[in-house]
Amino acid sequence: MNEQVIHYLLNILPATTSFVQQLEKEAKQNHVPIMEPLSMDFMLHILQLKKPKRILEIGAAIGYSALRMAEVAPDCEIITIEKNEQRYQEAVMNIEKQGKSSTIDVILGDAIDKLNELQNDSFFDVIFIDAAKGQYQKFFEQSVPLLARDGLIITDNVLFRGYVAQPELAPARFKNMVKKIHHYNEWLMHHPNFTTTIVPIGDGVAISLKKH
């Protein structure tokens, strides 16, 4: 979308709580990557339609997305994984501040390892991937056994600043990651067990629905 359309949509988004606004401000100041407002709004609507009982998030950061998801699914159990210990501590603190510790469980560790440990857990209705972009395919593959029969997987940043569509414009430091995301998108769109659509909103959101 062009900048005028983005600006228009941002201006008509419903107001968020003061706590959410504070988290967004802190994330911006500390260069913590969180989901963009339009992408978040879109995902929250998906969750309201899906009405999940259990959500797994890969990439907690400071707990922003988990708390936003809990807003629209207050009775849902959310498990979120974070590798960075400082961000893990911040996520736990933010979740405690909002009184959501009973419904949101933050796990410290590498998602690759933790996904293996969750294999004997109950199924998840929604799995949200928003962590190391170069590991997306691994995250997805290890998430599949944890997904409920009619579950869906949501992946953020699949267009990564538009560079995935125009890799020649990507700065050198991003080229390898952009290449991996491009490969992930191609792999995802042709996955035999999922139907996927990529929505060009925010930084690009992929919605993958498990086939019966």
Burial class (CB in 10 A: 0-12, 13-18, 19+), 105: middle
* 35 annotated as a binding-site residue: yes
| Main-chain dihedrals φ then ψ at residue 38, nearest 5 degrees | -70, -40
Q: What's the order of all strands across the beta sheet hosting 124-129?
A: 104-108, 77-82, 54-58, 124-129, 147-156, 205-210, 194-199
Residue 1 has pLDDT above 80, yes or no: no
Query: What domains sit in the chain, N to C, each tagged with a CATH number?
Result: 3-210 (3.40.50.150)
Handedness of CA 80, 81, 84, 89 (dihedral sign): positive
Average pLDDT, the chain: 94
The answer to whether the annotation marks 157 as part of a ligand binding site is yes
Model confidence band, residue 2 (pLDDT cutoffs 50, 70, 90) = confident
pLDDT, one tens digit per residue, over 107-132 is 999 999 999 999 877 899 999 999 99
**Residue 157 and residue 155: Cα distance in Å, rounded?**
7
156 is in an annotated binding site: yes
- pLDDT for 37: 94
What pLDDT sits at residue 119? Answer: 81
The response to whether 36 counts as a known ligand-binding position is no
- Interval 73-91: pLDDT, tens: 999 999 999 999 999 999 9
pLDDT, residue 208, reads 98
pLDDT digits (tens, 9 = 90+) for 26-68: 999 999 999 999 999 999 999 999 999 999 999 999 999 999 9
Q: Is 65 annotated as a binding residue?
A: yes
Total-model pTM: 0.94
Q: Is 111 annotated as a binding residue?
A: yes
